[in-house]
């Protein structure tokens, strides 16, 4: 076994024993800001696509998105990547109303 292989094996052995960190709680507006940052950084982004905050009657903020329907897979991928790291106070629905 080469030194590189040994170091790689040790790295992954340590990673398996580490506990995953709990998700960071974000407000809806903070979540939307982070999601838009990731969306703009993605090469597949089409202009006019963005995450938005919708205000419902009763003052509840909900995350949603707007843009062409062809962007749904990208929106879904960004959201799924974010849910492992961040926690939202409300549910995000990919289907727009």
Quick check: is 4 in a domain?
no
Predicted pLDDT at 65: 92
pTM, two decimal places: 0.73
pLDDT per residue as tens digits for the range 21-59: 788 899 999 999 999 999 999 999 999 999 999 888 778
Residue 31, in any domain of the structure: yes
Alpha helices in 18-46 (DSSP H): 28-41
- Predicted confidence (pLDDT) per residue in 70-92, tens digit: 999 999 999 988 988 888 888 88
- 51 is a domain residue: yes
- Is 45 part of any domain? yes
* DSSP-based helix, strand, coil % in the chain, nearest 5: 45, 15, 40
Q: Residue 97: pLDDT band by 50, 70, 90 thresholds?
A: low
Helix (H, G, I), strand (E, B) or coil at 62: strand
Distance (Å, rounded) from C-alpha 2 to C-alpha 75? Answer: 42
């Amino acid at each position: 076994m080469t030194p590189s292989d040994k170091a790689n094996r040790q790295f992954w052995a340590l990673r398996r024993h580490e506990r995953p960190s709990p998700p960071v709680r974000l407000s809806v507006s903070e979540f939307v800001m982070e999601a838009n940052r990731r969306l703009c950084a993605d090469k597949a982004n089409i202009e006019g696509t963005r995450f938005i905050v919708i205000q419902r009657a009763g003052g509840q903020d909900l995350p949603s998105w707007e843009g062409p329907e062809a962007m749904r897979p990208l929106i879904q991928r960004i959201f799924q990547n974010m849910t492992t790291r961040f926690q939202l106070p409300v549910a995000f629905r990919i289907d727009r109303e």
